[in-house]
Amino acid sequence: MKPSPAERELSREEVARYSRHLLLPEVGPGGQKALKAASVLIVGGGGLGSPAAMYLAAAGVGTLGIADPDVVELTNLQRQLLHKTADIGRPKTDSARETIGGINPHVNVQRMKLRLDSGNALEILSPYDVIIDGSDNFPTRYLLNDACVILGKPNVYGSVFRFEGQVSVFNPTVGGPCYRCLYPAPPPPGLVQSCAEGGVLGVLPGIIGSLQALEAIKLIIGQGDTLTGKLLLFDALGTKFRELTLNRNPDCPVCGHNPTIRTLIDYEDFCGVRALGDQEGGGEEITVEELKERLDRGEDIFILDVREPQEYGICNLGGHLIPPGELPARIAELDRSREIVVYCKTGIRSARAIETLRQKGFTKLRNLKGGINAWADRIDPTMARY
């Protein structure tokens, strides 16, 4: 995979292409050749992966790996600039390669249409010099962290939610902390919303993903100061950056003095994702078809909507709206003698709400499987899907 010294030489075309880099003493021909010889794996070809991949390609990184299991959806296009309207339905790895090739045909793009897991991650990561975490879920973030620590690779971390972004470089091989030093455990599923539920301003991952590309470039050319040992926060509403100091945890289970995690574990299990799924299947779910049938029969069912008011405005089932954050304080609005069907967008927040209600003594609870999106897909195709 490593190019020979001759292949690292810059052609006439490349000298012109990278001339603005070559003029910088901090980059120069040495830095540009280092970029050409470098390989970067971008995990997630989405909001963060798009600007990261495009800038790294333009900068002349020789080999770019893109790992993403998904196909392009209409809702991606508000922020994922690797993909175009005509790409809807195509694998993201395919449209990513086309976009990158259009920017810089010198880049060797390695497409991986797959989800990283404990079985494949070490093998997939090992040929790369730098890993960029542009994933969109906690299990993948812990998996990438542990795999990078085990392999001794720098992990350029970025994440976004609504108007808030976080960036860091986790690089224990040079003494910095890892993701687990910062967050030893993920939030329970349903407590923290994903971008699919809570939304994200499209330009925000553009900024955070560009910062990830910047950190990767500095790691490759060995110039400047990286965010190792620091967490950079960005507040898009206030246009404010703030830098926090991170400490390595000597007792960290993966990068500490006596690590207990030496091989990859089951990350879905660690993040409680599977447990929640099982619980949902525990006899308390109701399908959209069953709900429609029972409503059509005029049965007495109380429908509780645990989304935010702006989501209710997009589409609703005419249910009683109580946003999840207000549920504990507004339980008096609910009648525990009636059967309550709880729904959100996809069924995750409603599962969490059911847990809260059960703790308060409610028993006649059903979770609408797949949420209102399933209703829009299978019962009412005229309903807006978001």
Partner 1 sequence: MSVSVDGPVTRSSVLDALEAAYPMLRGTIRDHDTKERRPFLRFFVCGEDVSLASPEDPLPEEIASGREPFMVIGAIAGG
The residues annotated with a catalytic role in the active site are 195, 344
Pattern 159-178, partner 1, x by CB under 8 A: xxx--x-x------------
CB 366 to partner 1: min, Å: 24
Instruction: Give me the residues that bind Zn ion (CB under 5 A), please.
Output: 178, 180-181, 252, 255
Residue number, 135 or 155, with CB nearest to partner 1? 135
CB 337 to partner 1: min, Å: 25
CB 250 to Zn ion: min, Å: 9
Dihedral (C-alpha) 80, 83, 87, 91: value to the nearest 10 degrees? -80
CB 247 to Zn ion: min, Å: 10
For 288-330, the DSSP string reads: HHHHHHHHHTT---EEEE-S-HHHHHH---S-EE--GGGTGGG
Q: Write the CB contacts of 265 (distance below 8 Å, at least 6 apart in sequence).
A: 118, 146
- Name the nearest CA neighbour of 386 among 282, 312, 304: 312
Does the footprint of partner 1 cover residue 44 (CB under 8 A)?
yes
35, 37, 41, 48: residue in contact with partner 1 (rule CB under 8 A) = 48
Rule CB under 8 A: which of 83-112 touch partner 1?
Answer: none
Q: Strand 155-161 vs strand 130-133: parallel, antiparallel, or unpaired?
A: parallel
Residue number, 195 or 372, with CB nearest to partner 1? 195
- Name the nearest CA neighbour of 158 among 113, 121, 213: 213
Q: Return the one option of partner 1, Zn ion, none that residue 270 interacts with (CB less than 5 to 8 A, by type).
A: none
Does the footprint of partner 1 cover residue 186 (CB under 8 A)?
yes
CB 180 to Zn ion: min, Å: 5
How far apart are alpha carbons 295 and 287 in whole angstroms? 12
Q: Write the CB contacts of 86 (distance below 8 Å, at least 6 apart in sequence).
A: none
Does the footprint of partner 1 cover residue 203 (CB under 8 A)?
no
* 241-249, 259-267, 283-291, 339-347 -> range binding partner 1 (CB under 8 A): 241-249
Using CB atoms within 10 Å of the CB of residue 48, give its burial: 0 to 12 exposed, 13 to 18 middle, 19+ buried. Answer: buried
Give the number of other Cβ atoms within 10 Å of residue 291's Cβ: 22
Does the footprint of partner 1 cover residue 326 (CB under 8 A)?
yes
175, 250, 313, 325: residue in contact with partner 1 (rule CB under 8 A) = 325
75, 78, 247, 363: residue in contact with partner 1 (rule CB under 8 A) = 247
CB 205 within 8 A of CB 164: no
CB 320 within 8 A of CB 291: no
How far apart are alpha carbons 353 and 344 in whole angstroms? 10
Binding site for partner 1 (CB under 8 A): 44, 46-49, 133-138, 141, 158-161, 164, 166, 182-187, 191-192, 194-195, 198, 200, 205, 231, 233, 242-247, 325-326, 328-329
